[in-house]
Structure 1
């Protein structure tokens, strides 16, 4: 029953545009004939049958070629028989328009030219039957061509709109993949860097401080589990159309996650100080961006700076949030400035209308300084 209901609605949607032409044809043909006393043949049941066929042909919008052919045959037969001019002629541009909308330009022009040719022949036959010396076909041809051009314009606009939607969808999908790739780089990269440093600490103290080595290996285990969870979550989002089904990704951890992050970095042997101004009152996207910038900067410290002293400052400056990470490492700048991590941090800041400045410090070490508007929204 449900399928038949859908089928009926689809057929009604196709059929209803022909009803105004049918009504006008049946009602308006006789009044039009009163002004044409010289018509070769008066109206009769056959004439009205052709009017009905010409109008109902417009219901076949899913097959515009067939609709044009049936309409053209009915109108041509009506004219060739010598019936008076009437509203039946209005169905011709409607059928032509349908072909222009549905078919490519070359094919539509060829079919419409053939249809118009048949109608021109029918007009000459009508003129001969009525004893006229000449017949004017230019208005009918011009109207049909105008309807064809209108249909072609609509088709071009629809194709352009569809192409734009496809391109927007492709671009959105590409941006989503890039975002997820950046998230994987940030989370997994940080985890692996922490694991490497923590394992190094464990090896370094293994012979003389078993308890310290044990704590370092427990940190390795905890970081490994977290990295695997992050990797699993990222891969699930990369499968098929899951991002579309699940909606936008959550902003991610905020500044309240800095404590756990700092513990992980300290366990890797980095002397780290974190100074976060209380009661910042930040929006979720701003907090998430600040956390990711700090995480990536600390990842670079773990990878390149060795056992450096590092300072993280997060504070308000009027309408902006300032995030600054400085370290005393010797190799942070040359190793990190051109990497994917710096590009990711800059993208996090700029996406919210902020800026990112990175560079070596005069006395040695490296600095990452981000400024993000507090009222920014993703």
Structure 2
């Protein structure tokens, strides 16, 4: 019993007042016009010539102030007709809460009204409105089968006549307009519902795509950060093992480098996950008013080069042009591209010199990383290069990576500056 009451009360909890504010006046409007139509239908008209008090050839009688029926009271209305009007008005008022029940009640009441009065009038509008609402708010399979039973109801007026009135034109004069309007309302409702469903599906797909892209974004951040830090730690650990017996005094330096690298990596990883968890809506980096440390950018290339040199990788950084502060997303993407390229150089060309060039042009910042490693005969692109290319593409830039003809490897990215902030 409680579950039934919960289902009944559920539609009234969200937006009920707003819906009633729109639908109740519409139901009252149908009620008023239908009542006027009923009164007009029950008011007697002028009598035929043979009932005006004499034979037709004698001419009409003298009326004086008006015809004798002008002051006649209308015929008493049938209570059943008024009950049908109220039923349709109520169905219109609650049509968005109980669309199928409202349509069934409005259609049955309209059919009975037409059979009782001899015409439909404005009450037909209530049936059409409930039909549209039902088709627009409920699935086709939930109402199409039993809605087919509505057609026989349109012939209620033929009950009691020979062959149910199927051989009389008056029957079709009522049934054909009813059926046409019903089918039109149902077709419009189905079309509207289809568009709503398509829009909802597109929205869901967009949300899924955004969630997927966000996961990729986090994966790239963690990959670049953890991969770089682990590479440095691995190199420092190898150096410590190598000099453990020969130069014990250098072991402390390697352990200090490992501790410093892991500490920085943990702090940066914590800040990265905090940014993604809270969401800044503007890509990597934080809003200007955020009190947390921003994600690293090109201003921290010196620290990055120092960590790489402590791991045995020689790095030189050169800047060309007038330095400006790129947008946060571009600044962070450039830093991660340099970090990933240096990490790859440390893995595949240990000991070789790596050169980093940052060139500031009018509308772009050019990031180049080259190393003097051995010549590469075949180049297979891995996840690191793919991640760098995705970072460049995400901010509207492009990236090319491949072996150098004279040996070694080169990465070149062009990233748009957009509207850069003031210089450093």
Interval of TM-score (by shorter of Structure 1 and Structure 2): 0.7 to 0.9
Check whether the contact 2:363–2:418 (CA below 8 A) recurs between aligned residues. Answer: yes
Which digits, 9 at most, give the CA deviation of each residue in 1:77-126, with x for residues without a partner?
222323543211111111111221123223322232212321x1223349
Q: Where does residue 140 of structure 1 map in the other structure?
A: 178
How many Å separate the matches in 2 of 1:308 and 1:133?
99
* 2:388 is equivalent to residue 345 of structure 1: yes
CA pair 349-126 structure 1, distance change in 2 beyond 3 A: farther
Q: What is the DSSP-based 3-state SS (H/G/I as helix, E as strand, rest coil) of the residue aligned with 1:204?
A: helix
Question: Which aligned pairs between 1:115-264 and structure 2 lie closer than 5 A?
Answer: 115-118=150-153, 120-125=154-159, 134-135=170-171, 136=173, 137-232=175-270, 242=277, 247-248=281-282, 250-251=284-285, 252-264=295-307
How many Å separate the matches in 2 of 1:127 and 1:160?
48
Q: Where does residue 353 of structure 2 map in the other structure?
A: 309
Aligned residues: 366
Which digits, 9 at most, give the CA deviation of each residue in 1:53-84, with x for residues without a partner?
11111214222121122222322222232354
The partner residue of 1:23 within 6, 29, 54 is 29
The farther-off stretch of 103-112 and 341-350 is: 103-112
CA pair 221-312 structure 1, distance change in 2 beyond 3 A: same
The farther-off stretch of 249-258 and 182-191 is: 249-258
How many Å separate the matches in 2 of 1:133 and 1:282?
81
CA pair 97-283 structure 1, distance change in 2 beyond 3 A: same
Q: Where does residue 338 of structure 2 map in the other structure?
A: 294
Check whether the contact 2:240–2:255 (CA below 8 A) recurs between aligned residues. Answer: yes
How many Å separate the matches in 1 of 2:378 and 2:255?
27
Deviation at 1:159, TM superposition (A): 0.8
Q: Where does residue 47 of structure 1 map in the other structure?
A: 81
Check whether the contact 2:334–2:367 (CA below 8 A) recurs between aligned residues. Answer: yes
How many Å separate the matches in 2 of 1:188 and 1:85?
76
How many Å separate the matches in 2 of 1:127 and 1:261?
97
How many Å separate the matches in 1 of 2:355 and 2:13?
71
Q: Which runs of 5+ in 2 are unaligned?
A: 1-8, 46-74, 286-294
Check whether the contact 1:313–1:324 (CA below 8 A) recurs between aligned residues. Answer: yes
Deviation at 1:350, TM superposition (A): 1.9
Q: Which runs of 5+ in 1 are unaligned?
A: none
How many Å separate the matches in 2 of 1:192 and 1:336?
24
Q: Where does residue 414 of structure 2 map in the other structure?
A: 371
Q: What is the DSSP-based 3-state SS (H/G/I as helix, E as strand, rest coil) of the residue aligned with 2:148?
A: helix
The partner residue of 1:265 within 294, 302, 308 is 308
The farther-off stretch of 16-25 and 365-374 is: 16-25
Deviation at 1:28, TM superposition (A): 5.0
Q: What is the DSSP-based 3-state SS (H/G/I as helix, E as strand, rest coil) of the residue aligned with 2:406?
A: coil
How many Å separate the matches in 1 of 2:37 and 2:406?
99
CA pair 133-371 structure 1, distance change in 2 beyond 3 A: closer
Check whether the contact 1:194–1:223 (CA below 8 A) recurs between aligned residues. Answer: yes
- Structure 1 vs Structure 2 CA RMSD: 3.1
From the CA coordinates, give the structure whose radius of gyration is larger: 2
How many Å separate the matches in 2 of 1:133 and 1:325?
89
CA pair 145-307 structure 1, distance change in 2 beyond 3 A: same
CA pair 336-303 structure 1, distance change in 2 beyond 3 A: farther
The partner residue of 2:125 within 70, 90, 115 is 90
How many Å separate the matches in 1 of 2:377 and 2:355?
19
The farther-off stretch of 78-87 and 251-260 is: 78-87
Q: What is the DSSP-based 3-state SS (H/G/I as helix, E as strand, rest coil) of the residue aligned with 1:226?
A: helix
Check whether the contact 2:30–2:125 (CA below 8 A) recurs between aligned residues. Answer: no
Deviation at 1:42, TM superposition (A): 5.6
Deviation at 1:289, TM superposition (A): 1.4
How many Å separate the matches in 2 of 1:116 and 1:153?
22
Q: What is the DSSP-based 3-state SS (H/G/I as helix, E as strand, rest coil) of the residue aligned with 1:324?
A: strand
Deviation at 1:168, TM superposition (A): 0.5
Deviation at 1:288, TM superposition (A): 1.1
Check whether the contact 1:310–1:328 (CA below 8 A) recurs between aligned residues. Answer: yes
Check whether the contact 2:327–2:418 (CA below 8 A) recurs between aligned residues. Answer: yes
Deviation at 1:19, TM superposition (A): 2.3
